[in-house]
């Protein structure tokens, strides 16, 4: 299943996202040079020019700059096309919400966090923007959970499209299926843990920024949905404790407690108090 469009468009030109896509493509064309090398008694296809290999992230002996540079290297045409496609699909609207400078900072932070996640669990070198793109996709999930994504799918000779909310598509298809279940059946050398670290960072970072109001909430993001759910839960608890919104004598703020009969004996005129 491939997402082909979203139901919203950015209000402003996402210059930062275009810059990242252009930089990734330029560096790929500069560094991609598949050639065979003889290693460990066998021939191995090496995708990068020798001078570019030092910029991959090597967890067993990392240099600090590698936590950024690895995200601009790719191992093949499908690798770069897939990453840039998803970055274009979800990054434009995230760029619009965060602004150009904020988006660039977020993207690089996502790359670093994904690299750390991979390094903590693996010793094999890693390259590619997938972790940073996952962080951007996680941010999209939080900022625009109810937008509709049009998805193309093919089953043998049958193909069609359907629409699904971003929350469900990203959470269940991209995160759970592609990075939790699919690895059990795949033999490809894909850094799934870097992807998961990127999603984890993207979701939590944007939730944190919304909670402290460093990002304006439009009332349609995941943080607003969580707050609305919590208010409903508190309201239901108050109603179950005796609060009647249609009885003036029993109306009280959500954060008030009804006094027991014993507590009200001293002053029968008071039927509630605030926290």
Domain that holds residue 262: 224-274
Q: Are residues 125 and 240 in the same domain?
A: no
Task: Compute the average pLDDT of residues 128-154.
Answer: 95
Q: Are residues 11 and 74 in the same domain?
A: yes
Q: Give, in order, the Cα–Cα distances in Å from 189 to each of 69, 113, 230.
A: 20, 20, 42
Q: Are residues 270 and 146 in the same domain?
A: no
Q: Are residues 196 and 263 in the same domain?
A: no
Instruction: Say what the pLDDT of residue 132 is.
Output: 97
pLDDT score of 149 more than 80: yes
Q: Are residues 110 and 240 in the same domain?
A: no
Q: Are residues 156 and 206 in the same domain?
A: yes
Q: At 237, is the pLDDT very low, low, confident or very high (cuts 50, 70, 90)?
A: low
Q: Are residues 88 and 189 in the same domain?
A: yes
Q: What CATH number does the domain containing 158 carry?
A: 1.20.1540.10
Please identify, among 217, 232, 256, the residue that sits at the C-terminal boundary of a domain.
217
Each residue's pLDDT tens digit, 111-125: 999 999 999 998 899
Q: At 41, is the pLDDT very low, low, confident or very high (cuts 50, 70, 90)?
A: low
How many Å apart are CA 184 and CA 206, to the nearest integer? 30
- Rounded to two decimals, the pTM is 0.81
Task: Compute the average pLDDT of residues 227-236.
Answer: 74
Each residue's pLDDT tens digit, 177-190: 888 887 777 667 67
Q: Are residues 111 and 235 in the same domain?
A: no
Domain count, the chain: 2
Greatest mean pLDDT among 29-38, 63-72, 219-228, 241-250: 63-72
Q: Are residues 231 and 99 in the same domain?
A: no
How many Å apart are CA 271 and CA 269, to the nearest integer? 6
Please identify, among 175, 197, 217, the residue that sits at the C-terminal boundary of a domain.
217
Q: Are residues 257 and 132 in the same domain?
A: no
How many Å apart are CA 88 and CA 14, to the nearest integer? 10
Instruction: Say what the pLDDT of residue 233 is.
Output: 75
Instruction: Say what the pLDDT of residue 101 is.
Output: 97
Rg of the chain over Cα atoms, rounded to whole angstroms, equals: 25
Each residue's pLDDT tens digit, 94-108: 999 999 999 999 999
How many Å apart are CA 199 and CA 141, to the nearest integer? 9
Task: Compute the average pLDDT of residues 138-154.
Answer: 95
pLDDT score of 271 more than 50: no
Spatial contact of 20 and 91, defined as CB atoms under 8 Å apart: yes
Q: Are residues 180 and 240 in the same domain?
A: no
Please identify, among 172, 189, 217, the residue that sits at the C-terminal boundary of a domain.
217
pLDDT score of 24 more than 60: yes
Q: Are residues 77 and 176 in the same domain?
A: yes
């Amino acid at each position: 299943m491939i997402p082909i469009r979203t139901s919203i468009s950015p209000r402003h030109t996402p210059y930062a996202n275009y810059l990242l896509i252009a930089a990734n493509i330029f560096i790929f064309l500069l560094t991609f040079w598949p050639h065979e090398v003889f290693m460990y008694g066998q021939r191995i296809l090496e995708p990068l020019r020798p001078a570019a290999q030092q910029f991959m992230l090597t967890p067993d002996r990392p240099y600090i700059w590698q936590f950024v540079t690895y995200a601009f290297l790719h191992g093949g045409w499908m690798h770069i096309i897939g990453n840039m496609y998803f970055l274009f699909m979800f990054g434009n609207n995230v760029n619009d919400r965060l602004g150009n400078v904020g988006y660039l900072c977020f993207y690089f932070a996502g790359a670093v966090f994904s690299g750390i996640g991979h390094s903590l669990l693996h010793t094999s070198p890693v390259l590619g923007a997938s972790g940073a793109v996952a962080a951007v996709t996680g941010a999209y999930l939080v900022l625009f959970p109810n937008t509709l994504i049009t998805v193309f799918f093919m089953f043998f000779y049958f193909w069609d499209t359907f629409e699904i909310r971003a929350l469900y598509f990203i959470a269940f298809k991209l995160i759970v299926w592609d990075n939790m279940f699919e690895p059990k059946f795949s033999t490809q050398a894909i850094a799934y843990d870097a992807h998961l670290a990127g999603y984890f960072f993207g979701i939590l970072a944007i939730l944190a920024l919304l909670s402290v109001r460093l990002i304006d909430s439009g009332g349609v993001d995941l943080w607003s949905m969580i707050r609305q759910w919590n208010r409903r839960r508190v309201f239901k608890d108050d109603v179950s404790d005796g609060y009647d919104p249609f009885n003036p004598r029993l109306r009280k703020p959500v954060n008030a407690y009804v006094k027991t009969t014993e507590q009200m004996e001293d002053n029968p005129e008071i039927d509630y108090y605030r926290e």
